[in-house]
Structure 1
Amino acid sequence: MLSSLDPRIARLALPDAPAALQPKAAFDQFETYEVFHQKKDGAPFSYVGPVHAPSADVAFLFAKEQYSRRAACSGMWVVPTSAISLTRYVGDQESVYDVVPASAPEAPGVPAESEDYLIFHLKKRGKAHTHVGAVQATSAADALEQAKRAFGEQRPVVNVWVMRRADVLTSELEDRDIWSTTPEKKYRDAIAYKVQDRIDRFKQEHS
């Protein structure tokens, strides 16, 4: 046992060597989800950050509270981190499409059914991934190849994220009122404080 002149250490009865570290149990934490929002109608969806949640519905609720307070956006997408495929990173003046390898040909047999994949570009390190469009593909690798054909002329492209549309939880048009500020909470809006009016009045009174 460890000995010490400090009575607090003595009372703990600590062993000389720590017990072997035990690995964490699987799934002992919430899953991570990535959040994208649309600042206004017609604008592209862009990445704003992650949330941890036990389900996609709860992740959407957390994302709304964390990233869209005071009507900061008009739409939101939430997708599990595990559902996103991504490329390597290249320099700020390069295009990752220049180094994207061709996908392997499909094995003979019944062809896979194609579906919608969403494509997000990172134009510069430190910025946010932004939605540039969608492609029809049979896999994430095939989607990246299709994206190269559709969006490969855009430069620079530092990194690309690919995800199935089916994996994305989206806000619908009929859900727009979830961002509305109720009348009794108008005092929380910055404009309700009329700060500039008070500043101007103070300047006039003390000039």
Structure 2
Amino acid sequence: MSKIRQNLDLGQAETPIDAEPLGDLTPYVVFTQLKAKGPHLYAGWLEAADDGMAMLLAKEHYGQDQECTNIWSIDRADLASSDGLYAIENPPSGETTYRVFTQKNKGDIFLEAAEISANSAAEALEKARQAKPQAAKAHCVWVAPVDRIISSEPGEVIWRFTDQTYRLARGYTRSVKEKWKQFRDEESLNEYEKEDLKEEF
């Protein structure tokens, strides 16, 4: 290693919980439910000014990535994690129902696993590890009070009714050519391809 690198003061890396926010927006984690009665899956993060804006952005962004029936967004301040990265800033008092999310292996997405009643987030994490097999073997566990999870309403439009297949991998198959043929008959399509080849070669 060069002397410059050896003498370089890198300081201490900041974890997400230590880093000061860059603006007045709040971070939210988003979960999507792909099928009715199925589990909610981790989709990603966003920043918003309030709960309403968080849900609107979640629907506009993550709701358009993949067809889904429901979306949850959770303020990071309402999230507690088994690795100590997140802690609930204003914990509820008394017995509370917590939603449990598990990450099987490091780098995997978090999945909705169960509900646990507990007197604190720490107790909810401990109970989940003891009572739920999915949580017992998980690399990391998150919990959030159920009444603080912002949810889209049943029947609410998330996935647009217009054709959105161009957003998906399946949209880029032989069906694309078939869609073109709806606008051009085969003869004009052949003529178009000939002209295109002439220009290129």
| TM-score normalised by length of structure 2 | 0.65
Matched, 1:179 2:159: yes
1:120 to 87, 97, 101: 101
Count of paired positions:
152
Q: 1:178 to 1:139 in 2, by over 3 A?
A: same
For residue 64 of structure 2, give the secondary structure of its aligned residue in structure 1: coil
4+ residue runs of structure 1 moved beyond 6 angstroms? 198-201
Task: Give the stretch that moved more between structures: 45-54 or 64-73.
Answer: 64-73
Q: What's the C-alpha RMSD, in Å, of the aligned pairs?
A: 3.1
1:71, 1:180 within 8 Å by CA — same for their partners in 2? no
Q: 1:72 to 1:31 in 2, by over 3 A?
A: same
State the shift of 1:76 in Å.
0.6
Q: Which amino acid aligns with 2:97?
A: D
For residue 60 of structure 2, give the secondary structure of its aligned residue in structure 1: helix
1:136 to 110, 117, 133: 117
Give, in whole Å, the separation in 2 of the partners of 1:83 and 1:195: 44
Aligned to 2:76: 81
Matched, 1:158 2:139: yes
Q: 1:156 to 1:55 in 2, by over 3 A?
A: same
Aligned to 2:14: none
Q: Percent of pairs identical after alignment?
A: 25
Q: 1:156 to 1:174 in 2, by over 3 A?
A: same
| TM-score normalised by length of structure 1 | 0.63
Aligned to 2:37: 42
Q: Which amino acid aligns with 1:87?
A: S
For residue 69 of structure 1, give the secondary structure of its aligned residue in structure 2: helix
Aligned to 2:26: 31
For residue 163 of structure 1, give the secondary structure of its aligned residue in structure 2: strand
Q: Which amino acid aligns with 1:173?
A: P
Larger Rg over CA atoms: 1
